[in-house]
């Protein structure tokens, strides 16, 4: 068996896979992390990743139609010699036979990197690579705070920046489980702090408050936390600023749906554990969301979702004044229900 533990993958990529390994399967639910690792593995084996003869990309659906092509590509000598990488991008059809044929053939001076999706334990491609002594299966699961901390430091170091420990911990806590989204936020922070030498907590808060918090969060959180007075105040402010009532209701509906899916996915977990898995949640909202998850049960959230859906429909059928009446009364009903659930 050559399956690799999720926590060992980064170290394996840094030191480089055993040269006797010809096929590297990168898979998992975190598509951003799968792509990043597949790219690192593909690029690291060739002298120039921009050389189309050195780095060849093939779609999985193409291989499903012609299983022998993968072995043919791996056996082809580059125009100017040197090592080659065959990067297989995931498709909708089964291309495991192409990988199996490549594992049975002779491959020298080439590496096959297979970028796949979230494969179950019995998926043909995964079982094939886990059982073969010439392949490695590298799982990619959402980052935890320790992994995010390492990612933050490594990415900022590449930009010539250090980060204070407190700032790093706060940033890691505010990022979600998707590697691509996390890298995007870290790179924004690096651009903001360019030339400073060290990233501070103030820098993290300045960027975080801008990219992670919606202007409607105060209103939505007030409603789902049971603060009716705050709902009335914030609703008046947004109405005065010209905010469309259906936009406010739509934001509340998306929030209710996220609360509902988080409650279902986190069955048996504490509210704190569920909050830790909430992607992209700004750290300033964590305590509020934890309160909401503790207070709202899935059946209650289903009723709130139905109420909001009906209100959105009513707004679309009504004039401006009546739409605002529908929206404000709906949000106040949700706040009243949340307060009752204390």
pLDDT band at 211 (very low <50, low <70, confident <90, very high): very low
- Checking if the pLDDT of 144 tops 80, the result is no
Q: DSSP assignment of 234-252, as one string? A: HHHHHHHTT--HHHHHHHH
Q: What average pLDDT score do residues 318-331 get?
A: 87
Domains for the chain: give ranges and CATH numbers.
6-139 (3.40.50.300), 150-211 (1.10.8.60), 217-340 (1.20.272.10)
Sequence-distant (6+) residues with CB within 8 A of 221 are 285, 288, 289, 292
User: Which residue matches tokens 């010699």?
Assistant: 81
Candidate from 44-53, 141-150, 214-223, 227-236 with smallest mean pLDDT: 141-150
258 in Cβ contact with 301 (< 8 Å): no
Half-sphere exposure of 295 (CA within 13 A, CB side): 22
Candidate from 26-35, 143-152, 160-169 with smallest mean pLDDT: 143-152
Better-scored residue on pLDDT, 50 or 319: 50
pLDDT one-digit tens code per residue, 271-324: 888 888 787 677 778 899 999 999 999 999 999 999 998 988 888 787 777 889
**Spatial distance between the Cα atoms of 326 and 335, rounded to a whole number of angstroms:** 14
Q: What is the per-residue pLDDT for 192? A: 82
């Amino acid at each position: 068996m050559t399956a690799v533990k999720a926590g060992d993958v980064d170290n394996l990529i840094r030191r480089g896979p055993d040269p006797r390994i010809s096929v590297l399967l990168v898979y998992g639910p975190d598509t951003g992390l799968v792509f990043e690792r597949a790219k690192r593995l593909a690029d690291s084996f060739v002298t120039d990743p921009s050389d189309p003869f050195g780095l060849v990309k093939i779609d999985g659906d193409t291989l499903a139609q012609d299983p022998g092509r993968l072995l043919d590509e791996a056996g082809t000598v580059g125009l100017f010699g040197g090592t080659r990488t065959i990067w297989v991008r995931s498709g909708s059809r089964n291309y495991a036979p192409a990988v199996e044929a490549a594992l049975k053939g002779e491959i020298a001076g080439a590496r096959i990197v297979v970028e796949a999706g979230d494969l179950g334990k019995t998926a043909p491609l995964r079982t094939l690579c886990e059982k073969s002594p010439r392949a490695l299966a590298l799982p990619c699961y959402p980052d935890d705070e320790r992994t995010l901390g390492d990612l933050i430091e490594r990415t900022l170091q590449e930009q010539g920046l250090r980060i204070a420990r407190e700032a790093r911990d706060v940033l890691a806590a505010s990022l979600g489980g998707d590697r691509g989204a996390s890298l995007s936020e870290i790179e924004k922070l690096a651009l903001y702090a360019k030339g400073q030498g060290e990233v501070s907590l103030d820098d993290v808060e300045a960027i975080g408050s801008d990219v992670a918090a919606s202007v409607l969060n105060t209103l939505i959180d007030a409603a789902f936390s049971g603060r009716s007075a705050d709902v009335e105040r914030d609703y008046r402010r947004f109405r005065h600023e010209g905010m469309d009532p259906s936009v406010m209701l739509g934001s509340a509906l998306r929030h209710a749906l996220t609360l509902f899916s988080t409650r279902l996915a986190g069955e048996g977990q504490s509210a704190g554990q569920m909050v830790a898995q909430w992607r992209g949640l700004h750290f300033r909202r964590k305590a509020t969301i934890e309160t909401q998850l503790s207070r709202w049960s899935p059946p209650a959230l289903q009723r709130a979702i139905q109420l909001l859906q009906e209100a959105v429909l009513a707004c679309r059928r009504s004039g401006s004044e009546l739409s605002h009446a529908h929206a404000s009364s709906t949000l106040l009903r949700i706040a009243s229900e949340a307060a009752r659930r204390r």
